[in-house]
């Protein structure tokens, strides 16, 4: 390309169309412009998104490493463990096959400390960005359109149902959410999670909204680091 930019792939174009279609379903005609401005930009294949999330995770890991072992104060050594995440581009790189983690170097302690993450939503197999965004898109779609989204994102119908149930039950009833929701600028409707959570953040670009939501959720991705609230 003469402007130096890579032309959008067929997959990206299809994703954009699917996003618009899903937005019409749960935003309605009156709210489509507002919703489309931020959600349609948050393509899961946006080349800016995943390097940014990786850098966030590295920064979070640096903070944990510098603080030393929370149990004994010993030195923390690198002890990353393998992950095989689903969702996102195929060329994520080897860094996405590992969860950043540490182990205390002191004999007799050896406690593992895993930093918070914006890439992985706890033990869920799919990347956190996928779980949050696709769940937000599935607020009340018809079965044929939900099937189209499943085809585009490679998520089974059973998984989609499980995600929606998780947001509205396990997540909504968790100690993390009961504490964290008080930091939101307006009350978030539990029945519309995680869409109502995404709407709390209003940056200029859509992918920034998703990143902020993932950062908000990051304490629930670990139980071993200080401040972790995994459930």
- Which tokens hold the place of 54? 């990786």
The answer to whether the CB of 39 falls within 8 A of the CB of 136 is yes
- Which tokens hold the place of 117? 């993450």
Phi and psi angles of residue 36, each rounded to the nearest 5 degrees, phi first? -65, -35
Containing 102, the helix (H) or strand (E) segment is strand 102-104
Rounded Cα distance between 161 and 166, Å, is 9
Closest CA to 214 of 201, 226, 205: 201
Can you give the pTM of this predicted structure?
Answer: 0.79
| Tens of pLDDT, residues 124-140 | 999 999 899 888 877 65
Q: What is the pLDDT along the chain (231 residues), one digit of tens a residue?
A: 333 433 334 433 444 444 444 444 444 444 443 343 344 444 677 778 899 999 999 999 999 999 999 999 999 999 999 999 988 888 888 999 999 999 999 999 999 999 999 999 988 999 999 899 888 877 655 566 567 667 767 788 788 889 989 999 999 999 999 999 999 989 999 999 998 998 898 765 667 888 999 999 999 999 988 788 886
The answer to whether the CB of 224 falls within 8 A of the CB of 111 is yes
Residue 48 Cα distances to 18, 45, 170, 222, angstroms: 20, 9, 31, 25
The answer to whether the CB of 32 falls within 8 A of the CB of 146 is no
Closest CA to 146 of 32, 16, 25: 25
Rounded Cα distance between 79 and 182, Å, is 34
Q: Which residues pair with 81 in a beta bridge?
A: 99
DSSP letters for 26-38:
HHHHHHHHHHHHH
């Amino acid at each position: 390309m003469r402007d130096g930019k890579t032309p959008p792939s067929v997959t990206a174009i299809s994703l954009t169309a699917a996003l618009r279609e899903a937005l019409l379903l749960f935003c309605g005609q009156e709210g489509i412009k507002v919703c489309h401005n931020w959600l349609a930009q948050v393509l899961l294949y946006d080349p800016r998104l995943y390097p940014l999330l990786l850098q966030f995770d590295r920064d979070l890991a640096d903070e944990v490493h510098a603080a030393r072992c929370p149990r004994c104060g010993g030195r923390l050594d690198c002890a990353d463990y393998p992950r095989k995440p689903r969702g996102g581009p195929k060329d994520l790189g080897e860094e996405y096959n590992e969860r950043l983690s540490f182990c205390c170097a002191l004999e007799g302690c050896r406690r593992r400390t895993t930093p918070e993450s914006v890439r992985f939503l706890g033990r869920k197999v799919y990347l956190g960005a996928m779980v949050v965004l696709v769940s937000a898109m599935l607020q009340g779609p018809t079965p044929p359109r939900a099937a189209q989204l499943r085809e585009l994102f490679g998520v089974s119908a059973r998984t989609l149902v499980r995600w929606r149930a998780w947001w509205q039950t396990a997540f909504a009833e968790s100690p993390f959410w009961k504490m964290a929701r008080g930091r939101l600028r307006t009350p978030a409707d539990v029945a519309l999670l995680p869409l109502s959570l995404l709407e709390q953040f209003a940056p200029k670009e859509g992918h920034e909204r998703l990143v902020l939501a993932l950062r908000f959720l990051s304490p629930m991705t670990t139980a071993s680091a200080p401040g972790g609230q995994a459930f």
